Amino acid sequence: MDNYTESVHDVKVDSKESAFYVDAAKYWEQVPPTVDGMLGGLSSISDIDLKGSQRFLNSIYQLVECPGKERALDGGAGIGRVTQGFLMKNFPVVDLVEQDRQFLEEAKKALEPTKHKGQFFNIGLQKFIPEVGVYDIMWVQWVLGHLTDDDLISFFIRCKSGLKPKGLLVLKENLTSSGEVEMDNTDSSVTRPRALIIELIKKAGLRVVKEQKQQRFPNDLYEVRMFAIQPV
Q: Which residues are annotated as a binding site?
A: 76, 81, 125-126, 141
Cβ atoms of residues 6 and 118 within 8 Å: yes
| Orientation of helix 194-203 relative to helix 149-162, angle to 10° | 50
Q: What amino acid is encoded at 178 in this protein?
A: S
**Phi, psi (rounded to 5 degrees) for 76:** 70, 50
Q: Which residues are annotated as a binding site for S-adenosyl-L-methionine?
A: 76, 81, 125-126, 141
Cβ atoms of residues 85 and 14 within 8 Å: no
**127 CB contacts (<8 Å, ≥6 apart)?**
11
Q: How are strands ordered across the β-sheet holding 8-10?
A: 8-10, 120-122, 93-97, 71-75, 135-141, 163-175, 223-231, 206-213
**58 CB contacts (<8 Å, ≥6 apart)?**
none
**Phi, psi (rounded to 5 degrees) for 36:** -60, -40
